[in-house]
Amino acid sequence: MSQSPLGSVFPFTNPSGKKVFKVQIPTGQYSNGYRKFTTRTAPTEAQARALQRKLYVEFQNNKLIPAREDKLEKYAIWWVRSVKANHVRTSTASDYEYKLRRWILPYLGQCKLSSIEPAVIENWMNELRKQGLGDRTVNSARTVLSGVLGYAHQSGILNRNPTSLVSPHRRKRGEKTQVQEPWTSEEIDHALTAVHNTKFDLFTHLGALYGLRRGEILGLKWSDIDLENGIINIRRTLKEERTYNEAGFSKAKLATDDPKTIASARKIGIGLVVDAAIFRHRQFVLKAAEMAGNRWMESDWLIPSAIGGPWNPNNASRQFKTFCKNNEIRIIRVHDLRHTAATEGLGKGVRLEAVSQALGHSRIETTKSIYAPYVQPLVDEFTTTMDDSHSGTLLVQLDNELSEWGEENGSPIF
């Protein structure tokens, strides 16, 4: 057997009795430590050595793969349904498939896995930007593509994940985003006055004052409200779940799921303002049931739809936007109510740990990185403290300067 850094060339006799030369190129290692090889055959040693050099060049350029030549579309759909779906929530797998079908497969679906090189990915991401997508959306699609190609690499189909060589897009200053500035204290008061005794009364209080996520608010049931002990139990989230059939057609349905993280399953104390909102909301629901008549569905949902069932989160967001517009309230997303609660609490001096706990963040660093930079009182507290701690030096300097001025002008200042 002839050994070289390029691999091995050796004579071999086929089961038919024909003598050929085999070429083996090392392509990595399996998880158990054994080496991976790609093997080809040639009729003569000279042809085998030429093939050896060709295969080595292909390996270096990420083009040496097993005989299978999967196209991205077929492989990606298989991956999200048969691999990813076993490790994430149904809604998360559906979101991955949506991004595949919406942003990836129309551009790269017919490409062979081996042909998707870093330059191809760069061009694809740039094309998405030209289509008007923000960097956050582009990077999210890149993450999904990386998951697909990363698994192909782990499985030995690719020698590397080409996405790892392509950096995410950096958000540009001034780029448009759906995120809106949180309401100020004055805007909170204006909004809470406007929603009084409406279907958005308790909804807005829970979002803007307690920082509950949209799905957490709409996933609440009366059985989660412990008025005797003054506690709201966050036990589930309500979301619109989209599933795809074999033909790629989607169907949406409402479904409940566990809270976003372990820390999101939490208990929140009920204050006087929210307690009053719960009382008003109970009366509002009774009137809504009376108006709906026979269409009303008895249920345990805390904030139901117009006929008593679960309230579709997307419908709630649209109606909230319309309500704000009609009542001269600055329009922000429902999720921005959560940002409002966080920044308002930090601005009022609530400890960072307390805000993080109430929001259901797994790590305090999450709360700090998202909200602390936008809370001006925290910055003011630092500068004021530093200024006050050294104000004595300034007073001494001023006293000396005033004394010198008085001496030069022959009279005291005061």
Question: What pLDDT score was predicted for residue 70?
Answer: 81
Q: Which of 211, 185, 192 is nearest to 347 (CA)?
A: 185
- The hierarchical CATH code for the domain 72-165 is 1.10.150.130
Question: What pLDDT score was predicted for residue 338?
Answer: 94
* Distance from C-alpha of 306 to C-alpha of 311, rounded to nearest angstrom: 8
Question: What pLDDT score was predicted for residue 68?
Answer: 52
Sheet containing 2-4, strands listed edge to edge, beginning at the edge strand earlier in sequence: 2-4, 7-13, 19-29, 35-42
Question: What pLDDT score was predicted for residue 67?
Answer: 44
Question: What pLDDT score was predicted for residue 199?
Answer: 96
- The hierarchical CATH code for the domain 185-374 is 1.10.443.10
- What does residue 387 show for φ and ψ, rounded to 5 degrees? -65, -45
Question: What pLDDT score was predicted for residue 102?
Answer: 94
- Give the amino acid at 101: R
Contact 113, 152 (CB under 8 A): yes
List the chain pLDDT tens, one digit each, 414 residues. Answer: 444 567 888 898 876 678 889 888 877 766 666 677 777 778 899 988 888 888 878 777 766 555 456 899 999 999 999 999 999 888 888 899 999 999 999 999 999 988 899 999 999 999 999 998 888 899 999 999 999 999 988 877 787 899 999 999 887 665 556 668 899 999 999 999 999 999 999 999 999 999 999 999 999 999 999 999 999 999 999 998 887 777 777 788 899 999 988 889 999 999 999 999 999 999 999 999 999 999 999 999 999 999 999 999 999 999 999 999 999 999 999 999 999 999 999 888 888 888 888 998 888 888 887 776 666 666 666 666 666 666 666 666 666 666 666 666 665 555
Residue count of the chain, please give it.
414
Paired residues of 221 in beta bridges: 301
The Cα-based distances of 112 to 68, 70, 73, 157, 308 in angstroms read 10, 6, 9, 11, 50
Is-above-0.75 flag for pTM?
no
Question: What pLDDT score was predicted for residue 123?
Answer: 96
The 3-state secondary structure of the chain, one letter per residue: CEEECCEEEEEEECCCCCEEEEEEEEEEECCCCCEEEEEEEECCHHHHHHHHHHHHHHHHCCCCCCCCCCEHHHHHHHHHHHCHHHCCCHHHHHHHHHHHHHHHHHHHCCCEHHHCCHHHHHHHHHHHHHCCCCHHHHHHHHHHHHHHHHHHHHCCCCCCCHHHHCCCCCCCCCCCCCCCCCCCHHHHHHHHHHCCCCCCHHHHHHHHCCCCCHHHHHCCEHHHEECCCCEEECCCEEEEEEEECCCCCEEEEEEEECCCCHHHCCEEECCHHHHHHHHHHHHHHHHHHHHHHHHCCCCCECCCCCCCCCCCHHHHHHHHHHHHHHCCCCCCCHHHHHHHHHHHHHHCCCCHHHHHHHHCCCCHHHHHHHHHHHCHHHHHHHHHHHHHHCHHHHHHHHHHHHHHHHHHHCCCCC
Question: How many CB atoms neighbour CB 234 within 10 A?
Answer: 21
Domain boundaries, the chain: 2-60, 72-165, 185-374
Question: What pLDDT score was predicted for residue 17?
Answer: 76
Paired residues of 243 in beta bridges: 251
Sheet containing 231-233, strands listed edge to edge, beginning at the edge strand earlier in sequence: 225-226, 231-233, 267-269
